[in-house]
Structure formats: structure tokens, C-alpha cells
Chains A and B, each alone.
Chain A
Amino acid sequence: MYLYEEQDDAALVARCLAGDPAAFEPLVARYQRPLFNVALRLLGRYDEAADATQNAFIKAYSHLSSFDPTQRFFSWIYRILKNECLNMLRSARPMEPLPAHLVAAGGPTDGLDDSERRDAVRRGLMALSVEYREVIALRHFAGLSYDEIAATLGIPAKTVKSRLFSARQRLGDVLSDWKVR
């Protein structure tokens, strides 16, 4: 979903490498949302997700010359983001709920139950391994296809599907209380 402008990405990278830093801005604008949302699901905290996303872009820019234009820019920067997130998780603080105004806008009837549900899902995700969390995040929060996830993670699409199956299964086990609500 976010990976359809590969040639354009490569051209922007080439412009950056040629000394035009402004060419990096469209790349940030294009990928900040999916990257931030993936970081948020990996880290579970808004501020840390924002920091991780910002750091990933800055590190990507500083190592732009190592980007292989035959690869997808999203796949490359995602690996940088994942490393950022893993570093943050190593020094993780205890979880706290997301501020209500920062979670996705719900309908007018959304109330405490929805807020609790969202928090439960977030905690459920954080209870999964990073491996499971990332396939769920890439699929459900970055909107990537199975092939795109496979390319991003460097694993076969078949593995993506089986990993996603297991991840949903485990998440379902954790969230079983919410199944009938």
C-alpha cells in the first residue's frame, strides 16, 4: 500500500545524495505515518514511538549512501526503525495507558468500554513477542500486503502467513475476554 512509488523513492534518494537535502522531506511525509504506527505497536508508547520514528529518519538520512536503490525504501528504513525500537525496549519503563485523545477517533457512542478495549488490545500486543507484534503491525497498522511484509522482513510470504496466523492466535488467547463483548 505504501510501496508503489519505488522509482520515485530512488530518485529522491539520489537527489539527497547529490546534495539536495530538501528531497528527503517527501520521503518523511510519505512514510512517517506507517512507520510511526508500526513503532507505536512495537513500543506501546506514543512519545517513544515518535522519538523512534524521528531517529529512524535521521539515521536513514545519515546512511543514505548505503541504501540499495534496487530495494524498497520502506523495507530499508523499517529495519532502521526496528533497531531503534528494540534499543528502546531494552530500557523499557512499565506500561501506562495511551492518553485518550491520542488513540484513534471513535464513534460518538464510544465510551469507557472502547477505551478499555483499546488498552487491552495494546497490552495484548505488548504481551506478544516482537516477531509476532511486527507482523501484526505491518499487516494491520501499516497496511502492507503479505508480499510486501515478506520483502520488508526478508522472509518468504508463506512464513509471513504462518507467523501472522500464530500471532493472531496468541493475541486471541490473550484477548479472549473481549471475544463476546
Chain B
Amino acid sequence: MSDRSTDGDLEPAEHRWVTRLLAAQGDVEPPSDLTARVMAEIGRWPSRQTGGGQTMARKILLGVAAIAATLVLTFALTGYPPVGKGIEGAIGSAKRYQAPQIANDDVKVQDPELQAFFQSDAFHKLTTDKAAREAVTSKEFRHAVADPAVRAALAIPAVQAALASQAVQQALGSSALVNALASQAVQQVLAAQGVQAALASQAVQAALAGQPAVQAAMASQAFQAALASQAFQSALANQAFQAALATPAFMQALGSAAFMQAMSSSAFVQALSSSAVTQALAAQSLAQ
């Protein structure tokens, strides 16, 4: 004899009296001030404390950026490709010793975006930040740079330009964005042309930096899934979409739970690439 419960388990009849005894215990009310105590404790913290995972995500991001900076600097000063294998031994050392010092004129960094990057706080931070240096030796970092998509992304001028952007540097301070950027899904789409175009857009950079809701939205699973879709990447490449992204109404929509829920629908993401929908999302009236 068995009693089939709602989710299909067979409860033997000889256990029913045990189940009845357990049911008679009933639910016990937690302390009425439990929520208040938890929130009070959290409220005492000066700012949200970050856990190990987030610290590591930030280290990975800084580490990846450090490698990018190193590569960019190497390429800018020595040209590409770098000195080949086999000639970096004693002869190379002797040559370096005898070589004249580099004069200002010898350093030709013509790309203004790279110049900006070298002069940025982010670049300074990368060269002085202990966490960034430690990140280079971490397993997570090695794993990240082993990803061809990440390596390809680092070589892209748009990504370098984005790293040079003050707005993106500001955005890097957001834990939500760091988490989003540290996710494999996001890393993989960094190489997509649409994403590169979006990263290079000042409007998108400004949106990333100034909007906690957008940063939070980026950390959501629905957004990351949408980001991986071809339709959404096409939308990102669309200038109208980028312009719309910078509008308060769009950003308000992007940060809403309803929008995020809609993002899990492939039809909705497909529709986002339509300029009509983009314009509608940007309309002030939609957010009201």
C-alpha cells in the first residue's frame, strides 16, 4: 500500500503516522525582528563588501587589461611582430646594452586613443596595482587569456579605446559590471563586431558609467543570454540603438525587471534589432 504524493513519490503506508507526527509539529514563526536585524547589520557596513569571487573577477578583468596594455605598449614601441624566438639570448642582451637610449621622437604612438589609454588612471593602476600583478599569476587569469575570443578582443582597437575611456574606467568600479564582464558568455561576445561597435560608442560608454540599473541589468542571466544572440549583437551595431541606449527612457526600461524578463524571449531580442522598436523604446512616453 502506497500513497502517491503530489510530486510522484511513493510514501509507504507504514510511514504515514510518522508523516502525521511531523505535520503536527507545524511551522514555527521566526523571530519577528529577524529581517530588521539582518538589514540593520547590512546597513552598518559602509559599502557593500565584496566576496572572494568578485575580487577575483576584478583581478581577472584588471589582469586581462594589464596584458592588453603590455601588448599594446610592446607593439607601439617595437612594432609587430616582436623579436622572434632564438634571438633573445646573449646577442640580444649585448644589442640592448649597446643600443642608444630611446629619444622622445623614437616613440611614435600616433593613435590618440592609445595615447589616452597610456595617460589614463586605468593604465597607471594596471602598472601599480598589486592585485592586477597578482592576477597575472592566477589560474583564473591564465584560463581567461587562453580563451581565443578574449585574446582576439584585446587586439581590437575598439576594445582598447573602450579601456581608455574615462566612462568605462568609472564603470569598472561597479561590481555588477565587473561580474558581467568576468562571465565567459560576455567574454565570448566581446569579439563580435556589434559589441565592438557598441563599446566604441560614446553613448554606450556613458550609459555603462552612469547607470547602476544598466550595470545591474548587464549582470543578469537574461541580458547575458541576449548578448550572446546574433539578433542582439546586430542591434548593438545599430547606431540608432546605441543612441537610444543613451536616453534616460531606454535606460530606465533596460533596468526594469519586466524588460529583463522580456529579454529571455528570442522574439523580443529579434525585435530589438528593428529600428522601429528601438525608437519606440527610446520614446519618453514608454518609460512613463
Measured CB to CB, the residues of A under 8 A from B are 7-8, 10-11, 14-22, 24-25, 28-29, 32-33, 36-37, 40, 46, 49-50, 53-54, 57-58, 61-66, 69-70, 102-106, 114, 117-118, 121-122, 136, 140-141, 145-147, 161, 164-165, 168-169, 171-172, 175, 178-179
Nearest Cβ on chain B to A15's Cβ, whole angstroms: 5
Q: Considering the chains assembled together, what is the distance between the CA atoms of A121 and B118 in angstroms?
A: 69
A-B contact pairs, 28 of them (CB 8 A): A7-B257, A7-B260, A17-B179, A18-B215, A21-B43, A25-B39, A28-B35, A36-B34, A37-B28, A50-B30, A53-B34, A54-B37, A58-B41, A61-B42, A61-B48, A64-B51, A66-B52, A70-B221, A103-B28, A105-B26, A118-B25, A121-B21, A145-B6, A147-B7, A168-B18, A171-B22, A172-B15, A178-B21
Contact of A161 with B9 in the complex, beta carbons under 8 Å: yes
With both chains docked as a complex, state the minimum distance between the C-beta of B154 and any C-beta of chain A, in angstroms.
Answer: 24
Minimum CB–CB distance from B264 to chain A (whole Å) comes to 8
CB distance from A75 to the nearest CB of B (A): 15
User: Within the complex, what minimum Cβ distance (angstroms) separates B15 from chain A?
Assistant: 4
Q: Which of B22, B52, B213 has the most CB of A within 10 A?
A: B22
A122 contacts which chain B residues (CB < 8 A)?
Answer: 25
In the bound complex, CA of A21 to CA of B220 (Å): 17
Chain B residues at the A interface, C-beta cutoff of 8 Å? 6-10, 12, 14-15, 17-19, 21-31, 34-35, 37-39, 41-43, 45, 47-54, 57, 174-176, 179, 212-213, 215-217, 219-222, 257, 260-261, 264
- Of the listed residues B18, B21, B43, the one surrounded by the most CB atoms of chain A closer than 10 A to its CB is B18
A14-B220, A121-B22 known; A28+B38 contact, CB < 8 A: yes
Interface of A (DSSP majority class): helix
How many Å lie between the Cα of A53 and that of B32 in the bound state? 13
Residues in B whose Cβ lies below 8 Å from that of A64:
48, 51
Task: Decide if B260 touches A11 in the complex (CB within 8 Å).
Answer: yes
Contacts of A147 in B (CB 8 A): 7
Known: A11-B257, A32-B35. A169 touches B21 (CB 8 A): no
State A103–B25 Cα separation when bound (angstroms): 7
B19 and A168: CB pair below 8 A? yes
Known A40-B28, A103-B28, A104-B25; judge A54-B48 contact (CB<8 A).
no
